Amino acid sequence: MLDQLKGLRTQALSELSEVDSLRGLELWRVRHLGKKSALIQILRSLATLPAEERRRAGAQANEVKTALESGLSEKERQLQEALLASPLKSRQLDVTLPGRPYPIGGLHPITQTINEICEIFGNMGFQTIEGPEVELEYYNFEALNIPPHHPAREMFATLWVETGGGEETTLLRTHTSPMQIRLMERERPPIRVIVPGRAYRYEATDATHESIFFQVEGLAVDTNITMADLKGTLLEFCRCLFGDERKVRFRCDYFPFVEPGAEMAIECLACAGAGCRLCGHSGWIEILGAGMVHPDVLARVGIDPDIYSGFAFGMGVERLPMLRYGVDDIRLFYNNDLRFLRQF
């Protein structure tokens, strides 16, 4: 057996010197140190030998195993070094070249627009606040003069949130207007705030509508506020965002929580008012609804409508960059196509 171990060592080390790849090294390991290798079989058969012979054979077998494992480690180190050095030798890697630049991330165009809106109104004295996206039905509808079964609820394709027994009904807010009530409940006039945030509607998407979108709500409450203040504030906002040359149109509209109500539209940039797919061939795109806060809404939160008045407005954020940059489909903002987003 001692002669067998000696021959096994000589043969294994000779084969190891010929190995030139990590794959070949693994095959060598399995052949000479694996569970079915001749060396392992010898080690398992030692128990059948007489005591004195078992001692000598065992010592020799362990010495062979140690030598093979040491040779395996050394050969693996040599092959790893050769693998790392090969690109340098073949000049496939030039370490003197500058590193590849990593692209720098940027803010999403909608986030950029919200930040700009907040800055414009901030310069006019408005504070920016946020509110919950999962809202109570009271704040989303009833406190805004939209009681159950009111026809105006048909405008809001609501996504309801299931609640346990005895809890108040909750929903995904359909607009950012509920923060008007929440703010006026805890603050007294003068109030000047804007509220950016997501709104949710259960409706089909098209070139100008999304089921999840961003709104910015605005509210001002003080003594002697009139419709002229509302119109002047919104005109100044459009001047800052779109420039002095952009045409603006106000028309009467109905919203339950304002009286009187109005809509403001901007001349379509894509067609310059001539009419196209983006503006529905009207030449105008509505960007917000507005009006004077309804006296009942003020009274509901404990503000005397005989002393105070206010205006409110709500705008869809996505339509602003659409107008500004001539984007003809709102869905492009949410397709996560970097070729589109990098333009902003």
Q: Does 105 reside within a domain? A: no
Residue 325 lies in domain:
110-341
Same structural domain, 317 and 233: yes
**244: in domain:** yes
Q: Tell me, what's the pLDDT at 234?
A: 94
194 and 260 in a common domain: yes
pLDDT one-digit tens code per residue, 228-276: 999 999 999 999 988 888 888 999 998 889 999 999 988 877 777 777 7
pLDDT in tens, the chain (344 residues): 667 777 788 888 888 888 888 888 888 888 888 888 887 777 777 777 777 777 777 787 788 788 888 888 888 888 888 887 776 566 666 778 888 888 888 899 999 999 999 999 999 999 999 999 999 999 999 999 888 888 877 777 888 887 655 567 889 999 999 999 999 999 999 999 999 999 998 888 887 778 899 999 999 999 999 999 999 999 999 999 888 888 889 999 988 899 999 999 888 777 777 777 767 788 888 889 999 999 999 999 999 999 999 999 999 898 888 878 878 788 899 888 888 988 88
For residues 320 and 183, state if they share a domain.
yes
My answer on whether 282 and 153 are in the same domain is yes
Within this chain, do residues 179 and 81 fall inside the same structural domain, yes or no?
no
The tokens 């009187």 sit on which residue? 260
Residue 75 belongs to a domain: yes
CATH code for position 276: 3.30.930.10
> Both 29 and 177 in a single domain?
no
**Within this chain, do residues 74 and 189 fall inside the same structural domain, yes or no?**
no
Question: DSSP E strands: which ranges in the chain?
Answer: 127-128, 134-136, 159-161, 170-172, 191-200, 212-222, 248-253, 258-267, 284-293, 309-316
Domain-located, residue 245: yes
Handedness of CA 118, 288, 184, 197 (dihedral sign): negative
Q: So what's the pLDDT on residue 147?
A: 87
In a shared domain, residues 70 and 141? no
- Please check whether residues 83 and 24 belong to one and the same domain: yes
Number of domains making up the chain: 2
Q: How many other C-beta atoms lie within 10 A of the C-beta of residue 262? A: 23
Is residue 191 domain-shared with residue 65, that is, in the same domain? no
Pair (263, 185) in one structural domain: yes
Give the closest residue to 27 by CA, choosing from 61, 77, 72, 70: 72
Dump the DSSP string for 78-121: HHHHHHHHHHHHTT---TTSPPPPPPPP---HHHHHHHHHHHHH
Residue 100 forms part of a structural domain: no
As a whole number of angstroms, the distance between CA 249 and CA 264 comes to 6
pLDDT digits (tens, 9 = 90+) for 313-337: 999 898 888 878 878 788 899 888 8
Does 94 reside within a domain?
no
Strands 284-293 and 309-316: antiparallel
Determine the Cα–Cα distance for residues 35 and 288; give it in Å rounded to an integer.
77
Beta-bridge partner residues of 136 = 170
Judge whether 97 lies within some domain: no
pLDDT score of 163: 63
Residue 304 is encoded by which pair of tokens?
């005397």
Q: Report if residue 142 sits inside a domain.
A: yes
Whether 213 and 303 share a structural domain: yes
Is residue 256 within 8 Å of 143, Cβ to Cβ? no
CB under 8 A, 24+ apart: contacts of 152-161: 152/255, 152/256, 156/201, 157/201, 157/202, 157/203, 158/201, 158/202, 159/200, 159/201, 159/202, 161/134
Distance of CA 298 to the CA centre of its chain: 37
Q: How many CB atoms lie within 10 A of CB 268?
A: 23
